[in-house]
């Protein structure tokens, strides 16, 4: 929280947990949300893909993704809608990463843990010299 430049227009505003753009851009986002919501209220439009919604409403894919991630658009009634995985860009419907990227990240974390354990075990090895054994 604090004074920041709006990522959309560059104006200064006070950022908070619920506001990530200035009041003017927030109003514009709300107006665009209403356009999307009205479009999706029609039963035949609920099967639309992200590209079809962008084409029909003029609302950017980035803003649609923001609406989904913030919970303003629920995917339960929109079977063909998703947003890109933060890592690879594959369309997903929940979380931040697809299952493949999550598994890969988990595998990499396990490898790092094993390497750390090996380093710890090597640090505690006792080495003897000939001087110590022969008593010289």
> What band does 120 get if pLDDT is binned at 50, 70 and 90?
confident
pLDDT at 130 over 70: no
Residues 29-50 pLDDT 10s: 999 999 999 999 999 999 999 9
- What residues pair up with 83 in beta bridges, in sequence order? 92
What is the distance between the alpha carbons of residues 122 and 116, in angstroms, rounded to a whole number?
Answer: 10
**Could you tell me the CA-to-CA distances from 127 to 22, 62, 90, 135 in Å, in that order?**
64, 59, 51, 15
What is the distance between the alpha carbons of residues 31 and 23, in angstroms, rounded to a whole number?
Answer: 12
Output the pTM of the full model.
0.72
pLDDT for res 135: 53
pLDDT for res 102: 95
Q: What is the CA radius of gyration of the chain?
A: 26
């Amino acid at each position: 929280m604090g004074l920041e430049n709006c990522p959309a227009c560059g104006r200064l505003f006070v950022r908070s947990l619920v506001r990530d753009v200035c009041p003017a851009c927030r109003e514009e986002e709300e107006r665009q949300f209403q356009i999307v919501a009205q479009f999706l209220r029609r039963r035949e439009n609920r099967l639309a893909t992200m590209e079809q919604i962008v084409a029909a409403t003029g609302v950017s894919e980035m803003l649609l993704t923001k609406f989904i991630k913030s919970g303003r658009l629920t995917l339960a009634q929109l079977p063909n809608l998703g947003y890109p995985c933060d890592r690879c860009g594959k369309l997903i419907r929940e979380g931040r990463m697809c299952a493949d990227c999550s598994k890969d990240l988990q595998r990499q974390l396990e490898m790092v843990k094993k390497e750390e354990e090996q380093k710890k075990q090597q640090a505690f090895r006792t080495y003897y010299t000939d001087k110590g054994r022969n008593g010289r």
